[in-house]
Amino acid sequence: MTVDGPTVRVGAGALRGTAEGGIVRHLGVPYAAPPVGEHRFAPPAPRDPWEGVRDATAHGPGAPQAPYEGPIGEILPSVDHVGDDFLHVNVWAPEHAEPGSLPVLLWFHGGALVRGANALSAYDGTAFARDGVVFVSANYRLGSEGFSVLEGAPLNLGLADQLAALRWVRREIGAFGGDPERITVAGQSAGASTTAALVAHPEGGRLMRRAILQSGPLSAVAPDRAGRVSRLIAEDLGIPATRDAFADTSPKELVAAQHRAMATGNPLVGGPSFALAVDGDLVPRSPYDALRTGAADHLDLMMGTTVEEHRLWLAPTGADSDLGWPLLALGSLRFGVGPATLRRLRGRRPDMGTGMLAGAMIGEVVLERPIRRVARARAARGVDSHVYGFAWRSRVAGLGAAHCMELPFVFDRLGTPGALAMTGPDAPAELAERTHRAWVGFVRDGDPGWPAWADRAGPHVLDAA
């Protein structure tokens, strides 16, 4: 590793990073002002220039959040450093890359809009840079700070941060070797939901060339519904649901209150949660509706799920045994799912119990079905979409092919501590190489290595050979 480190210059000043093994890293690079003081509960503001050369050799802080708890906390790591100056990106690039020469991947992490950070080792971009891609991972405001519905405050501030990060990448990435005309935006889980909103946004869709949506709902809801959790937090704290009241409350207090308000639910079975709100500006309509009707027909699009998304929330905690028939009956009624669909889902894994069947049904309706319908609608207009299902099953904690299981394969990170917690020691390296290569191929030229939906009429399956 070099002592002085490679230096690049962006609009706000010079940055010193590190170089090792042919990969250059610049970490904690600000793309907006810290969202504190007058910038709290306000749109992202430009970053003031700095004097001299800014150190970019270590990860910056994450957004305020609470860690995962219980069995899921043993599987999914949480950021251990939060702070004010968290609106930043990490950049991995091949050493000696010619300015503006390489494709770019901008990554938005998941975490139900309340957790996650670009500092997590799962999102290390080394393998992408090794394979000729400039990889950028961005933080954004989470939870109450980013997705509250408050009187006097703009909606969807976390999404506004992401749009600001995309603008920064478009403007600055040439200095790191990236081609601003070849940007792919990708996200997983909540990050896929927000990426879908960016894709459907009139400006956001013009700033990228391709997009990858992995395991995320394509939904947005009315502000009153999205504001339910904000009202519960306000009640918990004994304050009104207004910008002034929330701004007078510390981030730590808001995180604690939101944690209490959301304790009864999870992304699978529901309960109070943050969501994108239809606002007429950043989210003029549901991303699902926008994508089905042509909002992103100028973009290459790849969409994927795991084939057992639901198992992350049911298997480690044993919640499938507790929920069982009530969840199945309620879900069937709510989503209008009939016996034929249930038989097809049970056919994937005949040994699944009632609770797991209910979880598979919810995953089908919330994640898989919208993707298929978007792909069909695009195909009917002559627009390609590449769709896949990640099917490899882990033996750890009954996870199977659960939500997040694809990430160590996408990032080619098998064998790292975070990956082992999900996959165990027997994950197939060949599948990681193939999955990662598919993402690189799509980022590079729009071809992951299998035919588009119109030529397959179904998802490509990624599994061990």
Residue 332 domain flag: no
Q: Considering 172, 309, 364, 406, which one is annotated as catalytic? A: 309
pLDDT number for residue 2 = 40
| Pick from 368, 349, 352, 363: nearest CA to 320 | 352
Q: What residues in the chain have per-residue pLDDT under 50?
A: 1-3
Q: Considering 137, 144, 148, 189, which one is annotated as catalytic? A: 189
pLDDT number for residue 268 = 62
**Could you tell me the strand order of the sheet in which 53-55 lies?**
7-10, 13-16, 53-55
Residue 57 domain flag: yes
User: Is 309 in the active site?
Assistant: yes
pLDDT number for residue 446 = 97
pLDDT number for residue 1 = 37
Q: Considering 201, 386, 403, 436, which one is annotated as catalytic? A: 403
User: Is 189 in the active site?
Assistant: yes
Q: What is the pLDDT of residues 325-335, one digit of tens each?
A: 666 776 677 77
Which amino acid, residue 411?
A: F
Residue 14 domain flag: yes
Question: What range does the domain containing 284 cover?
Answer: 7-298
pLDDT number for residue 356 = 84
Residue 414 domain flag: no
Cβ atoms of 268 and 362 closer than 8 Å? yes
pLDDT number for residue 384 = 94
Residue 310 domain flag: no
pLDDT number for residue 352 = 80
pLDDT number for residue 382 = 95
Residue 17 domain flag: yes
**Tally of structural domains, the chain:** 1
| Pick from 389, 315, 408, 379: nearest CA to 353 | 315
Residue 461 domain flag: no
User: Is 230 in the active site?
Assistant: no
CATH of the domain at 201: 3.40.50.1820
From residue 317, give the alpha-carbon distance in Å to each of 114, 133, 179, 192, 369.
20, 38, 45, 25, 26
pLDDT number for residue 3 = 45
